Chain A
Amino acid sequence: MNKIHSNQLFCILLLSGAWSVICIPALSGTGQILGIAAACLMQILFCLPMLALAKQQGSFEKMIRSHKILGICYIAFFLLWGAQGFVQLWDVAPAQLLPTSGKLIAAILITLTCIYTSSCGLRATARAAPFVMGLFFLSIAVLILGAWKRIDLSRIALERTGFWDGVQIYNALSGELVIAFILLDKIKIKRSLAINSYLLSKAAFCILILFLSITVSGRLTELTDYPFFMLTTLSQPLQGQRADALYILVFVMLYIMHITLQTGVVGHLMEILFPAISRYASPASLFIMLLLAWMTNLPTTQGITSIALPVLAFLVPLLLRTKQFAKSIRKQHSETEFRNYDQEHFL
């Protein structure tokens, strides 16, 4: 009788993360691939405190109820991250040759769609995720099939440089860990399996894209800002027919999942913090994201997530867990004292 099942959590996190990965800026070299693998391992360690905390269900809810300001920080992060997503959409839209008359139109259409999707709630997002996941896997299979003949392993240069770039960029793409921390509260079983599978699958996907970009696109990667889209252009499974426009479908679906998840989580946080106005939380948050993206020029890769990730997904759970631990020790201590006192005075 879970609110969200662990496999659904895995799907939503991976899909949201996959969108960040396909918008990864131009990268090359094995150094970065190693950096990504290292960042993935680091994130597995990052998740230990939140997993430990999630064993006491409802702890996150309790925490933000008692520290409202912290809850507001989480909301602010999601609003900024969502706005960053819109900026990213505008940057990527020309690479995808979207058939709309302008990038703002594309963003507005997506916002309108997200107003509905986020109104369906987090549970609907969780249920929709496995279906999108199916399409996503299919598109990856088509991509690999198309890329297979064009892979040239000699293009892989063993570079040691770029390791830290890889770590930094991958961490900046991992805002989903903050979502994971919040949603772990809604899951009863197999929490660590969901989180670890997500982290490993996302790293594997990221490495796959980089590997294919290097071995298929080669030096052409330097001509584009987004290697994934270059890769889709070059990897055609059929000789006489192109399939790259098909990735528009996947792109749109992943993006909607990405934004809906953020607005859904904002809605969930608002429901806990300000239940009276939570009804309007999702459309309002979408509007704020769009406005922020339009008015400001947020950095698309590093920045927000790089700073927020260690604080919101690692330090906060760590502090809370430490607090809980100290409390339980104190309680144990006082119980022992009380028992000793009882023994001394009454027995």
Chain B
Amino acid sequence: MNPADLSEDYQKKAIPAHLEESIALVRQIAQNSSDLLINPITVGGIHCAVCGCEGMFSTTIMTSLIIEPLTGIPAQSSSTDLFSHIQEKLLLSLDRPVVRNYGDFFRLLHSGFVILLAEGQSKALAFGVQGYEKRSISDPSGEENILGAQEGFVETIRTNMSLLRRRMKTPLLKFELSQIGNLSHTDICLCYLTDRVPPQLLRQIKKELAAAKLDTVLSTGYLQAFLEKCRGSIFDSVSLTQRPDVLCSKLLEGRVALLIDGTPFAIVIPKLFVENFQTLDDYNYKPFYAAFSRWIKYLAFLLAVLLPAFYIAVSMHHPELLNSTLLLILTKAEAEAPLSLPVETIFVLIMYEIIREAGLRLPKAVGGAVSIVSGLIIGDAAVSSGLISTPMLTMVAISVIAGFVTPDLNAPITILRILFIIAGGLWGLFGIGLLGMLALYNLAATENFGFPATAPLAPFVARSMRDVATRVNFRKMQSGNFTVEEYYEQNS
């Protein structure tokens, strides 16, 4: 068989009744792959074969739960009787689908099932004895918090489903498992609360997923593009989370989550811009402190995007905004710097981005060394050599640190910061105003499946201000039965 035609051919091919032919076909389709295990065995006097994929199932479980009971089956008159006996009198596994074609055969085989073929049967029995190596549940490294749970999603979709189920023991939480990817057959799982999810949202998400014709889905990014309806937006309209507790809170608000096998992140739809400033810890602290920290985050976002641009605009075009003492300090510092202020700032920012990238991709031990080299050696040397001025470096450092406060907005902050610097350098506050309006319109135009990213500020929902402008306590928060449907704006 031509490998190119393989993917189309075998999917619906029925399992032949003749065992040897069946095994030969399995070998042919798998192209004698080294991880394919086929063990001929006689069960109840009938010639059978147990098939598995090496490393995908647990040998111990298979031996104790499948092989041992199978060898104890008394002699059967036919393979039909044997299969009826196994299905009706033995409980070898809770998950034991019947396989009739090679599409299902290989999907289950590669998912850690053990499959029993028998002479004279045009079907096979699959037993779920998955036992592949997987990462144990650990801290969600990308979404640290202080007072919340220390459990994060892992790469195994079923473990992730169980993490959610443990927190929501209600039949209203529905999981819809399906496969996506022509080659990878990746398990994906839609999760939602049936009584809270806006039906039009669920319908549209399913439609979009059905339209996604991908060969493989290896991470969230593959599907994110299909779930973000707004093109050209610099802000995300779907969010990612690594935390089952955060995801539960999102589901409670009527959102839909998508779990993907092989990735420890869940996609949550829709995402509002204000969610970038909400963390799980906000709900663990006293309301007054949570409200304070939220306003700090808003301020940090503005500082991260605008501070260097304002500094440049004021220094270059509107020095009257500075008081005379500050003006003298800046004049003195800038007089010694060889580059123009915007160039100097962009240079420092690009250096920072390079260092950050280097630190991210390198092993942790070397990453630390990168920080030392960049921070101490390059930074100190650049300032003392007069290549860059201290006030400018201070501004950039404050801006970069402020950006760490809202990690979800890292990408838009990085790009906007540089664009604002250019606009501020060229046209001062006038340029910042122009670009500010462009960014604001970009945000205002961002919507996903009819849910505007600017909600609940625009459209304004006064009730939602209790978790945006401030954070009320749970006595008040528990009342109201809020769902995102309140923000839905029909397209016309």
Contacts and interface: CB of A to CB of B under 8 A. Distances in A.
B430 interface: yes
A162 interface: no
Contacts of A1: 488-490
B458 A106 contact: no
30 contacts: A1-B489, A2-B489, A7-B459, A8-B458, A8-B459, A8-B460, A99-B317, A99-B429, A106-B430, A109-B427, A116-B438, A124-B441, A127-B452, A127-B454, A128-B441, A128-B444, A130-B458, A131-B444, A131-B458, A240-B323, A245-B429, A246-B429, A248-B318, A248-B429, A248-B433, A249-B436, A251-B433, A252-B437, A253-B433, A257-B437
B428 interface: yes
A3 interface: yes
A114 to B, nearest CB: 9
A39 interface: no
B434 interface: yes
Interface residues of B, number: 35
A126 interface: yes
A132 B430 CA distance: 15
B5 interface: no
Given A129-B458, A245-B321, A3 B492 contact: yes
Contacts of A256: 433-434, 437
Contact of B430 (A121, A242, A252): A252
A189 interface: no
Contacts of A2: 489
Contacts of B488: 1
Given A117-B438, A131-B457, A248-B430, A242 B324 contact: no
A253 B430 contact: no
Nearest to A3: B492
A5 B444 contact: no
Main secondary structure of the interface of B (DSSP, over half): helix
Given A100-B427, A131-B458, A253-B437, A246 B444 contact: no
A128 B459 CA distance: 10
A120 B444 contact: yes
Given A1-B490, A109-B427, A130 B441 contact: no
Contacts of A132: 437, 440
Interface in A2-50: 2-3, 5, 7-8
Most chain B beta carbons < 10 A, residue from A1, A127, A240: A127
Contacts of B398: none
Contacts of A126: 458
Interface of A: 1-3, 5, 7-8, 98-100, 106, 109-110, 113, 116-117, 120-121, 123-132, 240-246, 248-253, 256-257, 260
Nearest to B432: A249
Contacts of A113: 434, 437-438
A251 B427 CA distance: 14
A282 B452 CA distance: 23
A130 B469 CA distance: 14
Contacts of A124: 441, 444-445
A252 B490 CA distance: 31
A117 B429 contact: no
Interface of B: 314, 317-318, 320-324, 427-434, 436-438, 440-445, 452, 454, 457-460, 488-490, 492
Contacts of B457: 130-131
Nearest to B450: A1
For the complex of A and B, list the 9 residue pairs with the smallest distance between their C-beta atoms, beginning with the closest: A252-B433, A127-B444, A99-B428, A127-B458, A245-B318, A120-B445, A99-B317, A128-B444, A124-B445
A241 B321 contact: yes
Given A128-B441, A130-B460, A248-B428, A241 B433 contact: no
A183 B459 CA distance: 16
A106 B433 CA distance: 12
A62 B98 CA distance: 62
A137 to B, nearest CB: 14
Given A3-B489, A116-B441, A252-B433, 6 more contacts: A1-B488, A99-B431, A117-B441, A131-B444, A241-B323, A249-B432
A262 to B, nearest CB: 15
Nearest to B326: A241
A290 B428 CA distance: 23
Most buried by B among A2, A7, A249, A253: A249
Contacts of B460: 5, 7-8, 130
A117 B321 contact: no
Q: Looking at B314, B433, B436, which has the most chain A CB atoms within 10 Å of its CB?
A: B433
A1 B488 CA distance: 7
Contacts of A249: 429, 432-433, 436
Given A8-B458, A249-B436, A242 B320 contact: yes
A47 B318 CA distance: 43
B440 A131 contact: yes
B155 to A, nearest CB: 38
A316 B135 CA distance: 71
A117 B443 CA distance: 11
A110 B458 contact: no
A99 B318 contact: yes
B438 to A, nearest CB: 6
Contacts of B454: 127-128, 131
A250 B429 CA distance: 10
Contacts of A7: 459-460
Nearest to B324: A240
Nearest to B429: A248
Contacts of B430: 98-100, 106, 109, 248, 252
B425 to A, nearest CB: 10
Given A100-B427, A113-B438, A248-B429, A5 B322 contact: no
A68 to B, nearest CB: 22
